[in-house]
Amino acid sequence: MSEPGPRRRALVLAICCMSLLIVSLDTTALNVALPSMRRELHASVAGLQWTIDAYTLTLASLLMLAGATADRIGRRRVFTAGLVLFTAGSVLCSLAPGLGWLIAFRVVQAVGGSMLNPVAMSIITNTFTDPRERARAIGAWGGVVGLSMAAGPLVGGLLVDTVGWRAVFWLNLPVGLLALALTLRYVPESRADRPRRPDPVGQLLVVALLGSVTYGIIEAPAAGWTSPTVLGCAAVAAAALAALLRYERRHREPLIDPRFFGSAPFSGAVVIAVCSFAALSGFLFLNTLYLQDVRGLDALHAGLWMLPMAALTFLVAPLSGRLVGSRGPRLPLLAAGLAMGASGVLFALAPPGSGTALLFTGYVLFGLGFGLVNAPITNTAVSGMPRAQAGVAAAVASTSRQTGTALGVAVTGAVLAAGLTGAPFAEAARPAWWILAGCGFAVLVVGAATSGPWARATAERTARTLAAPEAAAGATPAARS
């Protein structure tokens, strides 16, 4: 099939961004609804954590499988199935009769969501073949996260205050149906020339690793850090990690190709994704409870408080994409880590009942940092990799994001729950803010270490290593479309 024209490429980008919008909008809007859900469903802090982490854990566990499957059977086919399942899961969530059912339906939603983001990124990668155009497209993609952060709390807060928290899930229905219709009409089918075979053992080990770590962290405040449950989770996680590393090195076509991590920029992108999205999810989780439970704001006004952060993310993300395309990822990564770390320090040191100016500054700093970080993560993850493996590379980056999201909610929620037993909210949350500040500064340090000449040399060596088997098999580096 011939290369799509500029208008067709722009339309494909818009459709892919719509899929990201419903996935991101669902998360940001749901955060504002947490206090209302806690009251109606009589949920504990751990219960609220599971409404988020059941979703993000499922996403993190299945993203690489979805990316590899899309490379094998067709990206549009998997993308379409994801839209159908995610939209149906949203409807089920809105009808959930209790907390257990809501968590189960969030898993259904996440199975569909796992087929959207990495596959959409793979579609973008194979549609925008010019590196500069691809960087700009990824910058626009990152801007959608900012849009969801701006619209999610506001629309979600309005719906919670006027209709109820169940209406938050209705947001996905019109967008999902429109994206589905446009996908069937305009998105071309594509797949990899040499798709990798399924790796069920690797998939099960990933699920065991992520699930045991997150479950242990969430349940530790209630069960105790030295309880048999938590120690058992630690043992399962350690065994799963050791088995995964051993098995994937020997598997001919592994779920997670260890050779990818020979590239310092790719490895750095994975670490930065985990840290930055852990900071984001922890930031939203803490602020939602603080604004509504401590300051006594309703859901809509709590959403308005987060508008400065969301607006900065929305405005800065496209600029970050242009900077990555013209000057590389180093500058955006350093600025992002500095801003996010400074925001965490500001909230950690803020006295209880801090004034408007201090909170506003903290939100602006975090929005600036997060807006800068997303484009470098995605572009670094897929740049230099053979296009035939674009789906898997993009899925690893997306998995890192969702892993960070799950860990951010798990860790900050666990720290908060442990502190609330004998201290007011502001004091209980202070250690969690220091953890989020550390995540921001980790982005700064890792970004500096993995964006220089040495790091680029490792990326070039890794690209040659990955391309060699394809050349030997007579495969072309481009994917069929």
| Predicted pLDDT of residue 149 | 67
Which of 35, 291, 303, 286 lies closest to 151 in space, CA to CA?
Answer: 303
- pLDDT at residue 277 tops 50: yes
Of residues 235, 243, 234, the one with CA closest to residue 206: 243
pLDDT of res. 390: 58
The number of C-alpha atoms within 13 Å of 284 and in the hemisphere containing its C-beta is: 34
Report how far apart, in Å, the C-alpha atoms of 347 and of each of 304, 362, 368 are: 18, 7, 16
Q: Which of 143, 171, 78 is closest to 395 using CA atoms?
A: 78
Q: Which two tokens stand for residue 175?
A: 């967008």
CA 257 to CA 381: how far, in whole Å? 13
The DSSP symbol for 258 reads: G
Question: Residue 59 is encoded by which pair of tokens?
Answer: 């996403």
Which residues contact residue 411 at a Cβ distance below 8 angstroms, ignoring those fewer than 6 apart?
217, 278, 282, 432, 435
Would 194 be classed as within a structural domain? no
Quick check: 274 pLDDT over 70?
Answer: yes
Query: Does position 291 have pLDDT exceeding 90, yes or no?
Result: no
Type of residue found at 105: F
| Residue 217 domain-assigned (yes or no) | yes
Q: Is residue 479 included in any domain, yes or no?
A: no
pLDDT band with cut points at 50, 70 and 90 for residue 422: low
8 Å CB contact between 323 and 336: no
Which of 137, 152, 96, 132 lies closest to 9, judged by CA? Answer: 137
H helices of 163-227, in order, are: 172-186, 200-223
| Strand positions, DSSP E, 168-325 | none
Q: Kindly state whether residue 480 falls inside one of the protein's structural domains.
A: no
Would 344 be classed as within a structural domain?
yes
Confidence check: pLDDT of 193 > 80:
no
The pLDDT value recorded for residue 382 is: 65
Q: What is the pLDDT of residues 216-260, one digit of tens each?
A: 887 777 777 788 888 998 999 999 989 988 888 887 777 777 778
Of the pLDDT bands very low, low, confident and very high (cuts 50, 70, 90), residue 391 is: low
Phi then psi dihedrals of residue 191, to 5 deg:
-155, 165
At which of 252, 276, 291 does a domain end? 252
Residue 334 has pLDDT above 90, yes or no: yes
Q: What is the pLDDT of residues 101-151, one digit of tens each?
A: 999 999 999 899 888 877 887 788 777 877 778 777 877 776 676 677 667
Average model confidence (pLDDT) for the chain? 81
Domain end point (choices 252, 270, 285): 252
Residue 471 has pLDDT above 70, yes or no: no
258, 385 contact by CB (below 8 A):
no
Query: 39: buried, middle or exposed (CB in 10 Å: 19+, 13-18, 0-12)?
Result: exposed
CATH at 140: 1.20.1250.20
Q: Cα separation of 306 and 308, whole Å?
A: 6
What's the pLDDT band for 262 if we cut at 50, 70, 90? Answer: confident
100/137: higher pLDDT: 100
Instruction: Give the Cα-Cα-Cα angle 136, 138, 143 (nearest 5 degrees).
Output: 95
* Residue 220 shares a structural domain with residue 280: no
Boundary-marking domain end, from 234, 252, 270 = 252
**199-219: average pLDDT:** 83
Residue 262 vs residue 103, higher pLDDT: 103
Residues 74 and 167 in one domain: yes
Q: What is the pLDDT of residue 480?
A: 39
270/395 same-domain check:
yes
Q: Say whether 198 sits in a helix, a strand or coil.
A: coil
Most confident of 74-88, 351-365, 376-390, 395-409: 74-88
Question: Within this chain, do residues 363 and 240 fall inside the same structural domain, yes or no?
Answer: no
Quickly count: other Cβ atoms within 10 Å of residue 253's Cβ: 14
Most confident listed range (152-156, 175-179, 323-327, 410-414): 175-179
Looking at mean pLDDT, say which of 10-14, 317-321, 332-336 comes out highest: 332-336
Q: Are residues 220 and 244 in the same domain?
A: yes
Lowest-confidence pick of 69-73, 190-194, 344-348, 446-450: 190-194
Q: Judge if 233 and 150 occupy the same domain.
A: no
Domain presence at residue 278? yes
Contacts 24+ apart (CB under 8 A), 197-201: 197/252, 197/253, 198/65, 198/68, 198/69, 199/68, 199/248, 199/251, 199/253, 199/254, 199/255, 201/247, 201/251
Residue 195 located in a structural domain: no
Residues 50 and 177 in one domain: yes
- With a pLDDT cut of 90, the percent of the chain lying above it is 16
Counting beta carbons within 10 angstroms of the beta carbon of residue 394, is it exposed (0 to 12), middle (13 to 18) or buried (19 or more)? buried
Distances from the Cα of 309 to the Cα of 79, 160, 322, 361, angstroms:
30, 21, 21, 9
Residue 119 resides in a domain: yes
Range name among 192-201, 223-232, 309-318, 472-481 with the lowest pLDDT average:
472-481
**Dist CA 455 CA 453 (whole Å):** 5
Q: Which residues of 5-17 are buried (b: 16+ CB within 10 A; e: fewer)?
A: eeeebebbbebbb
Integer Rg of the chain from CA: 21
Lowest mean pLDDT among 35-39, 44-48, 140-144, 152-156: 140-144
Furthest-apart CA pair in the chain: how many Å? Answer: 66
| Residues 287 and 144 occupy one common structural domain | yes
Do 211 and 265 have their domain in common? no
Distance CA 336, CA 346 (A): 15
Domain range for 216:
200-252
- Model confidence, pTM: 0.77
Task: Note whether 175 and 319 are same-domain residues.
Answer: yes
- What contacts 33, CB < 8 A, 6 or more positions away? 156, 160, 165, 168, 299
Domain match, 268 and 291 both? yes
What angle do the packed helices 6-41 and 45-73 form, to 10 degrees? 150
* pLDDT number for residue 26: 76
Q: Is residue 93 within 8 Å of 102, Cβ to Cβ? A: yes
Task: Give the model's pLDDT for residue 1.
Answer: 45
245/394 same-domain check: no
- Structural domains of the chain, count: 2
Write down the pLDDT at residue 476: 43
Closest CA to 115 of 196, 181, 19: 19
Strand pairing partners for 191? 480
